[in-house]
């Protein structure tokens, strides 16, 4: 299972690394357009900030176990956020993604769940669009005033962090921010390559700079040939889809990395257990042989 997870994590990791620049640049692009059209009194529902009375929590968990504390970590993060919202008197609703999360929330009828969504084996734009459509309808109909993504951010093969990202309304900073307004954009990506060294599986690490380090402001004299409302209406669904797809990819890469680590630990423990049992067996076998030899010697001496 370690080798299977190792083969899959490479593909998931590449999807995360390749998808981050597009998602982050799209957020920056939308922010700059939104800044330009503020003077034109354009009403864009997905960017409207209103008093928060109810929050939608999109919780992305895994489909399978045997991955260490991956599922436990994100579900604890969700429980902590729910308790925090209750503490400040806000309503909430959960959109659960993944079999482990679905079974967890089904066992807790006191937590309101808008929808249970099954994950595919590998994240696709179609799967992300299903979640984005549900989020869009909740926010535009004003059933919720804020949408937050809870997923596990992929950092490295040995580290992943459960994070809370504000999905809607669009961040005022032009960044992907957490619930406290802190940027969660990746400044540098650690890229891991699986190689062989001395006949054994090893990991080589490279560092990639994020495109966020060289952002440029739009010209204040920028003019739109099309109606700004049409531009934003066309781009905002793409923004939702890209952010949800990014979260799904990050979560899958974190899950596979956690499974690879868990299976590696299980293998090491099995090798150690085999070594311990072999030593115990050899001691017992040697003790039995020694006892039989002593009986033979004692019997021979008794006959003399």
Q: Could you give the residue numbers annotated as active site?
A: 67
**Positions of E strands within the chain:** 54-60, 91-97, 113-117, 146-156, 159-168, 188-197, 200-209
Rg of the chain taking only CA atoms, in angstroms? 27
What pairs with residue 45 in β-bridges? none
Q: Phi/psi zone of residue 174: left (φ > 0), alpha (ψ -120 to 50 degrees), beta?
A: left
> Is residue 95 packed enough to be buried (19+ CB in 10 Å), middle (13-18) or exposed (0-12)?
buried
Whole-Å CA distances, 198 to 92, 192, 201, 261: 53, 18, 8, 20
Contact 132, 167 (CB under 8 A): no
Q: Which long-range contacts (CB under 8 A, 24 or more apart) does 179-182 make?
A: 179/81, 179/148
Give the whole-angstrom CA distance, residue 99 versus residue 119: 7
Looking up tokens 């409302």 gives 229
> Is residue 2 packed enough to be buried (19+ CB in 10 Å), middle (13-18) or exposed (0-12)?
middle
Give the whole-angstrom CA distance, residue 146 versus residue 50: 9
Contact 147, 125 (CB under 8 A): no
Burial readout 50-83 (b: 16 or more C-beta within 10 A, e: otherwise) = eeeebbbbbbbbbbeeebbebbebbbebbeebbe
């Amino acid at each position: 299972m370690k080798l299977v997870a190792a083969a899959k994590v490479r593909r998931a990791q590449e999807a995360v690394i390749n998808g981050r620049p597009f998602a982050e640049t799209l957020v920056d692009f939308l922010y700059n357009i939104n800044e330009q059209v503020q003077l034109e009194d354009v009403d864009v529902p997905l960017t409207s900030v209103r008093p928060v009375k109810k929050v939608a929590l999109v919780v992305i968990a895994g489909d399978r176990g045997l991955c260490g504390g991956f599922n436990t970590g994100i579900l604890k993060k969700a429980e902590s956020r729910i308790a925090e919202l209750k503490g400040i008197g806000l309503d909430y609703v959960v959109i659960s993604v993944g079999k482990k999360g679905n079974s967890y929330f089904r066992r807790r009828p006191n937590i309101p769940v808008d929808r249970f969504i099954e994950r595919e084996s590998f994240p696709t734009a179609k799967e992300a669009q299903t979640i984005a459509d549900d989020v869009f309808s909740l926010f535009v109909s004003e059933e919720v005033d804020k949408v937050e993504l809870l997923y596990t951010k992929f950092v490295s093969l040995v580290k992943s962090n459960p994070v809370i990202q504000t999905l809607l309304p669009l961040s005022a900073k032009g960044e992907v921010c957490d619930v406290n307004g802190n940027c969660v954009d990746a400044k540098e990506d650690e890229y891991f390559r699986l190689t062989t060294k001395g006949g054994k599986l090893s990991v080589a690490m490279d560092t990639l700079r994020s495109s966020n380090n060289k952002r440029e402001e739009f010209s204040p004299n920028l003019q739109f040939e099309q109606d700004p409302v049409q531009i934003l209406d066309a781009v905002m669904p793409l923004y939702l889809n890209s952010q949800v797809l990014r979260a799904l990819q990050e979560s899958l890469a974190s899950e596979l990395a956690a499974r690879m680590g868990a299976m590696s630990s299980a293998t090491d423990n099995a090798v150690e257990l085999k070594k311990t049992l072999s030593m115990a067996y050899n001691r017992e076998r040697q003790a039995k042989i020694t006892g039989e030899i002593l009986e033979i010697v004692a019997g021979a001496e008794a006959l003399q």
